[in-house]
Structure 1
Amino acid sequence: MKTITVIDTFAFFFRAYFALPPLKNSEGFPTGLLTGFVNFIHQLQKDHATDYIVFAMDSEGPTFRKEIYPEYKANRPAPPEDLMQQLPVAIRWVEMMGFANLSKARYEADDVIATLTKCGKEQGIVAKIVSSDKDLYQLLDDDRVYIYDWVKKKAVDEKGCLEKFGVHPRDFVDFQALIGDSSDNVPGVPGIGPKTASKLINEFHTLENLYAHIEEAGTPRIRKLLIEHEEQAFLSRELVRLVDDVFDSCALEEYAFEDRNYLAALKEEFEKYEMRQALRWASQEGSGRAASAKASQAEEPAASAVSAPAPFEAVLLESEEKLEAVFSQIPEEAVVAFDTETTGLDTRSAKMVGFSFAFEEEKAYYVPVAHSYLGVGPQVSLEAAKKAIEKLMRHRIVGQNLKFDLSLLYSHLEMEPIEPEADTMILAWLLDPGSRVGLDILAQKFLGYQMKSFKETVKKGEDFSSVALEEAAFYAAEDAWATRQLYFRLTELFKKGGLEHLLKEAKEVEFPFINVLIAMERLGIRVDTKHLRSLKEELSAELARLTQEIHTLAGTEFNIKSTQQLGNVLFGTLGLKGGKKTKTGYSTNESVLRNLIGEHPIVEKILEYREHQKMLSTYVDPLLKLAEKDPEGRIHTTFVQTGTATGRLASKDPNLQNIPVRSELGRRVRRAFVAQEGFRLASIDYSQIELRLLAHFSGDAALREAFEKGEDIHMATAIKLFGPEEAAAKRNFAKSINFGLLYGMGSRKLADELGITTKEAKEIIEAYFAAFPTVRSYLEQIQQQAKEQGYVETLLRRRRVFDYEGASGMMKAAILREAVNTVFQGSAADLIKLAMLDIDTMIREEGLEARMLLQIHDELIFEIPEAQAEETAARFRHTMEHIYPLEVPLKCSVSLGGSWDELK
């Protein structure tokens, strides 16, 4: 799982200052804090790899907490002078190294941390908070959020919170409201200490519940204190509760922690402050992070230890004569790296500006085609470029993200599809599916080479066509040169690591799959724009109606989209009970509103309003805009082959794997996706594929028998767990556990899902393993492999690598869940890829008019001529069901319809 490290900047600097001796340089300038900071960065690069990193800062000026309570943080003593001397230097260093440092007016660093943590959780990214501030304990969430004390080298999780304060993180804000915080001058309830507070909070959980049952709360003395200071308790909670939405959005990819030596930017600073050890670290090549990567699963030396390759020469070929002269030197069997430069990232609309290639160790070439700026020199014509590229494609072509380049060539140069030799992005992904696979990152990681960035080359607001030819030649040639070097380096790692089977999988599955995806992206799927316009009008009218009804029920007009105004109406004007006030107002999220259903008719109207608004803004408006841009009214998604660690395809711009299906409004959106005139849409969906894989891998006799007999697997499970009499009523219980076990569901989550006690959930899980005895041993076997060998494998032996040994306690639990999930979800991804390749071959070789349009995880959607729809769909179904020999039969369901909504 990916990780974001968020540093509580000032708290960290203070901690570093007090943790180290009062060091000074020869001029008497203090350097203890700076030394601690540099040690941390060096250690982070060496031992604590992260995917993203952010320094959270307090804002200048008063915060909203000061506005609420002017005495907030009023009693803080002035920090030591030598600490204050070092602070601006340390902050400058953060900027010099290129790290993101975020702050927001009126908010504190802790609020920035809470926002980034929430962002990470929503994106499945683990958050590591570098701090020792107890205020952040409210954010702890096992497997997803933990606090790391750099000085003590200790991670704090939910258990640590319970051990230290006696309360769970989810109750920590209310606990703090009672005990206050003398360092921040948060008053709390005088006379109530941590032991009393934890006892009260563990019993009542919230201040609202505590005061609602005040007569039952502790001793008469405690009750008296609580009653006397009730207002103070609620004020204190408002002060300590963190805000988690200080930014409208947070693009975490902007905060990527790159595999480079960040300290190198500070060499002159280290000389100035006489920090000799830091200077040695700054002068080292590489960052040390790659040393911990399990690149080859063998005795292969760390990638970062490899010496940087010799410099290369970038050659500009601005005439056909020069181009022909170089082409005559390319050996027939040469491995040629190829790359294009374009005006944009959409291959259907972007234009090719030029192309680069490399077939030698120390040279790479750039051919300009369509640079356009005042005074631009000679270039090669598009026709000559096309002929040259066609010649290049006869060689063994390698590239980085070749799907983009080939799609561009097929669309604009009308070239026939080629079978590439390799794609370095896919090779790197196969080596470690959880790692980042951008060319800059791979060059640094495996070649020890720092590439020139796109931002350095292309001015903001311009595209590559405005770049001067000489500068463009270096940038583009560097891409081709680095790609070729990477190809040989990665291939070497596979071979030395005993991973030749992955090279075979790449050659037979992943590389041919590139052309399948290109074809699907180019085809797109047709959208009924008339239906979408009608739906937009209807949703807009419904929103206007609901707005009027909500205002009438509220007795006042207000902005329904404003959570602050809505909260004031619900809990202030209307006086509904159960409102939880945050720093920015009352919470009005979906769970809060659903708990209020039945309290007032306005609640149901607001939920209905939100559903309509989401459907309009998230789906109808964006889809309509995209469809109206296309001459044929088709929407074209982009499939990402390396977008998940399990191997599943991802879809983006737009994400067509996420169109809602369960709600009536969601189905009406799906109704807009239609077949072309004279065609039918066909859906072929693998039935319970992951459970069938469980039966195949585990060898469990009971599971296999149920599948071989074609039984309802969930009913068969229910009979085994609850007996024939209760089975029908408890089929959903069986379904939850059947799928839950594959995703690491424990007793607590099963209890929440089924609405039963944890004890009952544990009993059901035990009964399940008793009924299917070999399942437990197989799942434990997967986890043991992740622990001992550091990886698990899918059906086609694709690997997912885990650093179990170096993980924290909570991360280890997450790794074990991910390991199990990867085997089944990854193997299902293997099967559907194989099926797509075979079906694509059938379509091409037989000249079928059928088109493969979409892949939605275990489902394929086709567009087939109406007269042949049933027969062709049956053939595709047969291919999918016989694509790979499993110990249990693969089964698919088929449905035909005029629209996506009609497909069942």
Structure 2
Amino acid sequence: MKKTITVIDTFGFLFRSYYALPPLKSKSGFPTGLLTGFMNFISNIGKDFQTDYLVFALDSKGDTFRKDIYNEYKSHRPDVPEDLLKQLPIAIDWIVKMGFQVAMEDGFEADDIIASIVNDAKCNDIEVRIVSHDKDLYQLIDDKNEIYLFDPIKKTTINEEKCFDKYGVKPKQFIDYQSLLGDSADNVPGVKGVGAKTAEALIQQFGSLDSIYENIENIEKPRWKKLLIEGKELAFISKQLVTLHTDCHSIEELENYTLPEENPILKIADTLLEYDMNRIIERVNKEGLNYKTKIPEQQIDIPVKKDENIEYVLLNDENELIKIVESIKEDTLVAFDTETTDLDTKNAKLVGFSFAYEENKAFYVPINHNYLGVPNQISIDGAKKAINELNKKKLILQNFKYDYSIVKNQLDIELILFADTMILAWLLDSSSKIGLDALALKYFDHKMIAYKDVVKKGENFSNVEIEEACKYAAEDALYTYKTYYKLLEEFKNKNCENLIKIAHDYEFDFIYVLASMEELGIKIDVKKLEELKVTNQETIQNLTASIYEKANTEFNLNSPKQLGSILFETLKLPPSKKTKSGYSTNEVVLQKLKDEHEIVPLLLNYREAFKLQSTYIEPLLELGNKNDENRIFTSFLQTGTATGRLSSKNPNLQNIPVRTEAGSQIRSAFIPAEGYKLLGIDYSQIELRLLAHFSQDKALLDAFNEDKDIHRQTAVKIFGEEEADSKRSIAKSINFGLLYGMGSRKLGDTLGIPAKEAKKYIDAYFENFTSVKEYLKSIEDKALEDGYVETLIGRRRLFDFDSANAMMRAAFLRESVNTLFQGSAADLIKLSMIKIHNEYKSNKNVKMLLQIHDELIFEVKDEEVDKITKNLVDIMENIYKLRVPLKVSKTLGLSWQELK
């Protein structure tokens, strides 16, 4: 059987790994994205591809022979990011330490080394796989001799057919193609004015560079002929530059290139741990090495710091429990956690609770464990007495909202929060993991006991033996306690202790608001949904029959593969790009084909009807039928977004379409309880008002302070009074688009106009609102300088510009502007919700049910509507003093849809 050698284009591969992965860092702050991508590749050898031999090709240091041919060669390359430069020598060092071979030759580039190995391999009848996506190596592809490129990111093999599909020329013509086209990255000049399409056409017509110049008089297009004549010298210089040498390296002693016998990752395990790359080791421990499946793999121990002094105490004696909790002084900080049977607080039963108030000791109190031979447990009355006593202390919890709801539902006790470590961790860095497992690993190098290792499949926590439950539960309380103090240190070290004040002033109070809203739920008209289910199912069946008729066959409408085959092979519609999994049939593709065949509009209608049924009607109907009042209960995520906006889940009520017929049908099924109305109060143009407030642009301030229509005022400024009314919608797109970093191209796409025209609109906007452009730029500059942006009340969102590539950096700058306005709007509505909750929490005539972005939805008693609405409006419009008035719009209705 033919042997295979794999040759790695080392620098090319490492550079691509750096840009392909997010800016990962070790705990010490050292960048590890490139190193992680590299080690993933090593661990996948044998999985992504099989090979007998392997070698890493490297560039030599200093200039190569190409510099003598053309002095400008590679002279304009941009500076390499510092984080990439830090990681490169480490990766090269690891290659050698792992036992792999490297190939390098003075005066030559890695591409020449690869070409030479390919040449040797041909002579020895060895298949070659080149790990690279560099087009300079396409000239080496040779199907006959089994020489291919392999893209390790996309995990695809590139042969002659794929080369032709991509560039329109064969690999053996690639040198001549590049000689015409040049290469801006390496400063290969090519023929000035000749682009990819022209080069492709010339090569396809004449076959080679020599043939083109031999037939120069036969070239029909005068411009092409002129460019070729003027660029002849550079064309042939370029050919010398792009032609790879095949005689600078030999692989005669092939056995030097065999794969290491000993697990290469094992050889550098200690170093990987230093860089916190534990997951690579865990994966090798679990899966072994794919290319050495018959050799037993040595397990690599991942050190986890263990404090031998830690004590987990089981408290299943009631007298002892009460004695301990009563001995704790009232101003003591106590971490508290519950163990239950379910994540849904409505269905969960309390199994036990844990607490900790010392550095190395925690307690577990079992209440409702249920298995044969279960020992003594604490009674419900005993648990109530103990928790009431703990409630007099300063309670610290991780994800307080869950435990608050559990204890309230099960024991009728309302816990009083001092601090929530999850909220604090989110305030410290809203983009980092904030679960207790992640925080314990991050701050203490401690791996928490996994839930799946304690609770067997199909069981719940009540089935866990009390001794095991004690270790798991007490650990949660102890590490909540330890994490709290660690977070206080972090706030101090990062000079942002003001965030702790924000937590105590707003965020902790907000948890009670959300818990209340989750408890109330919102009523669903199940009869309406049942009718909708029947009529929509008929629609789905009729559409299905019509689609089968147009396709002249039956197939699975929900299978993209089968649909792609019908559309692009049977019906011969023009296909989008085909991937390894088949043709794309997504929404964008179908919209483009809408006028190509009558089956396409039917498919779009089918998808909308099917989504309506499966995503909204059936799940909401099932949830609404779970209780006599037909109310559904969502979970609000306070830490679900980096900007601070709320999100919701199970079900997500924030993504119901607003402008579609399907969305309106669903919203019409959300109704008030009998004797109540739904009231929607929506902040009007809140983000534009914040722009006026922050930028202090006179034109914006005047427009809002004089209560003018801001979109019409913008239209007046850009288009003049006569066109203002007809161009108001354009002005609206500009107003909101600029807040989210919309450039001329995106604005042009939105408005259906050329980008040049859109740019004129944007320029005209900034000419009239003179302070806005400067202010938006100042947000970006400050974010770059500080590494974060602050919202109205001082919440921070961090941005790791130091590790960002150019694309991520641009995205971070856009998000810094977005965060300031969207995050500040979230602040305002949050402040309003806290005040409304505190004022009305004992009033049965009004219930705050939902928050959807800038809107609050209430259920208000019919007789109290006018009075309560007036007060709610007053609270929301006066919650914070801006330089412009805060305004709200209000609507009443008997369904959510009527509020629009």
TM-score of the superposed pair, with normalisation by structure 1: 0.72
Deviations 1:447-506 (A, max 9, x none): 333322222222233221122211111111111111111112212332444323211111
Contact residue 178 and residue 197 of structure 1 kept, 8 A: no
Q: In structure 1, how many angstroms separate the alpha carbons of the residues matched to 2:394 and 2:463?
A: 31
Q: In structure 1, how many angstroms separate the alpha carbons of the residues matched to 2:678 and 2:874?
A: 18
Deviation at 1:282, TM superposition (A): 5.9
**1:521 match:** 518
User: CA 1:378 to 1:500, structure 2 compared with 1: closer, same or farther past 3 Å?
Assistant: same
Deviations 1:720-777 (A, max 9, x none): 1111222222222211121111111122211221222222222222211111111111
Q: Secondary structure at the match of 1:690?
A: helix
Q: In structure 1, how many angstroms separate the alpha carbons of the residues matched to 2:35 and 2:830?
A: 28
Deviations 1:253-312 (A, max 9, x none): xxxxxxxxxxxxxxxxx99879998354367596799xxxxxxxxxxxxxxxx9987742
After TM superposition, list the pairs within 5 Å mapping 1:174-323 onto structure 2: 176=166, 178-179=168-169, 193-194=177-178, 218-219=201-202, 221-222=204-205, 278=268, 280-281=270-271, 311-323=309-321
AA aligned to 2:31 is D
Q: In structure 2, how many angstroms separate the alpha carbons of the residues matched to 1:11 and 1:723?
A: 70
Deviates more, 1:421-430 or 1:716-725: 716-725
Q: Secondary structure at the match of 1:373?
A: coil
Q: In structure 2, how many angstroms separate the alpha carbons of the residues matched to 1:676 and 1:645?
A: 35
AA aligned to 1:278 is I
2:391 to 373, 393, 397: 393
Deviations 1:78-120 (A, max 9, x none): 534999xxxxxx9xx9xxxxxxxxxxxxxxxxxxxxxxxxxxx
User: CA 1:181 to 1:274, structure 2 compared with 1: closer, same or farther past 3 Å?
Assistant: closer
Q: Secondary structure at the match of 1:725?
A: coil
Q: In structure 1, how many angstroms separate the alpha carbons of the residues matched to 2:864 and 2:5?
A: 69
Q: In structure 2, how many angstroms separate the alpha carbons of the residues matched to 1:224 and 1:669?
A: 62
Deviation at 1:543, TM superposition (A): 0.9
After TM superposition, list the pairs within 5 Å mapping 1:713-724 onto structure 2: 713-724=710-721
The answer on 1:871 being equivalent to 2:845 is no
After TM superposition, list the pairs within 5 Å mapping 1:642-657 onto structure 2: 642-657=639-654
Contact residue 521 and residue 633 of structure 2 kept, 8 A: yes
Q: Secondary structure at the match of 1:893?
A: strand
Deviates more, 1:612-621 or 1:275-284: 275-284
Contact residue 7 and residue 56 of structure 2 kept, 8 A: no
Deviation at 1:190, TM superposition (A): 8.9
Contact residue 217 and residue 223 of structure 1 kept, 8 A: no
Deviation at 1:60, TM superposition (A): 8.7
Deviates more, 1:640-649 or 1:276-285: 276-285
2:30 to 33, 43, 46: 46
AA aligned to 1:336 is V
**1:331 match:** 329
Deviations 1:535-561 (A, max 9, x none): 111110011111122222333333322
Contact residue 336 and residue 395 of structure 1 kept, 8 A: yes
Q: Secondary structure at the match of 2:495?
A: coil
Deviation at 1:178, TM superposition (A): 2.5
**1:754 match:** 751
* Pair member with larger Rg: 2
Contact residue 179 and residue 197 of structure 1 kept, 8 A: no
2:848 to 836, 847, 852: 852
2:541 to 535, 544, 562: 544
**2:498 match:** 501
Q: In structure 2, how many angstroms separate the alpha carbons of the residues matched to 1:372 and 1:440?
A: 27
**2:70 match:** none
Contact residue 343 and residue 464 of structure 1 kept, 8 A: yes
Contact residue 179 and residue 194 of structure 1 kept, 8 A: no
Deviation at 1:193, TM superposition (A): 3.5
The answer on 1:490 being equivalent to 2:487 is yes
Q: In structure 2, how many angstroms separate the alpha carbons of the residues matched to 1:538 and 1:52?
A: 53
After TM superposition, list the pairs within 5 Å mapping 1:78-227 onto structure 2: 79-80=53-54, 132-134=132-134, 176=166, 178-179=168-169, 193-194=177-178, 218-219=201-202, 221-222=204-205
User: CA 1:743 to 1:308, structure 2 compared with 1: closer, same or farther past 3 Å?
Assistant: farther
Q: Secondary structure at the match of 1:896?
A: strand
Contact residue 391 and residue 415 of structure 2 kept, 8 A: yes
Structure 1 segments unaligned to the other structure (5+ residues): 1-9, 21-39, 64-72, 84-89, 94-130, 138-150, 158-171, 183-188, 200-213, 226-269, 290-305
TM-score of the superposed pair, with normalisation by structure 2: 0.72
Q: In structure 1, how many angstroms separate the alpha carbons of the residues matched to 2:625 and 2:687?
A: 39
Q: In structure 2, how many angstroms separate the alpha carbons of the residues matched to 1:577 and 1:656?
A: 38
Deviations 1:586-627 (A, max 9, x none): 432222222222333222111111111111111111111111
Contact residue 776 and residue 817 of structure 2 kept, 8 A: yes
The answer on 1:785 being equivalent to 2:782 is yes
User: CA 1:350 to 1:15, structure 2 compared with 1: closer, same or farther past 3 Å?
Assistant: farther
1:891 to 868, 887, 891: 887
User: CA 1:332 to 1:707, structure 2 compared with 1: closer, same or farther past 3 Å?
Assistant: same
After TM superposition, list the pairs within 5 Å mapping 1:799-878 onto structure 2: 799-844=796-841, 847-878=843-874
AA aligned to 1:886 is L
**1:531 match:** 528
Q: In structure 2, how many angstroms separate the alpha carbons of the residues matched to 1:307 and 1:220?
A: 64
The answer on 1:589 being equivalent to 2:579 is no
**1:410 match:** 408
Q: Secondary structure at the match of 1:795?
A: coil
Q: Secondary structure at the match of 2:416?
A: coil
User: CA 1:221 to 1:654, structure 2 compared with 1: closer, same or farther past 3 Å?
Assistant: closer
RMSD: 4.0
Deviates more, 1:515-524 or 1:582-591: 582-591
User: CA 1:579 to 1:819, structure 2 compared with 1: closer, same or farther past 3 Å?
Assistant: closer
The answer on 1:774 being equivalent to 2:771 is yes
Q: In structure 1, how many angstroms separate the alpha carbons of the residues matched to 2:51 and 2:336?
A: 62
2:455 to 444, 458, 467: 458
Contact residue 310 and residue 362 of structure 1 kept, 8 A: no
**1:732 match:** 729
- Aligned-residue sequence identity (percent) comes to 48
Q: In structure 2, how many angstroms separate the alpha carbons of the residues matched to 1:51 and 1:704?
A: 51
User: CA 1:286 to 1:591, structure 2 compared with 1: closer, same or farther past 3 Å?
Assistant: closer
Aligned residues: 708
User: CA 1:19 to 1:500, structure 2 compared with 1: closer, same or farther past 3 Å?
Assistant: closer
Q: Secondary structure at the match of 1:726?
A: coil
Contact residue 670 and residue 901 of structure 1 kept, 8 A: yes
**1:633 match:** 630
Q: In structure 2, how many angstroms separate the alpha carbons of the residues matched to 1:567 and 1:469?
A: 55
Q: Secondary structure at the match of 1:459?
A: coil
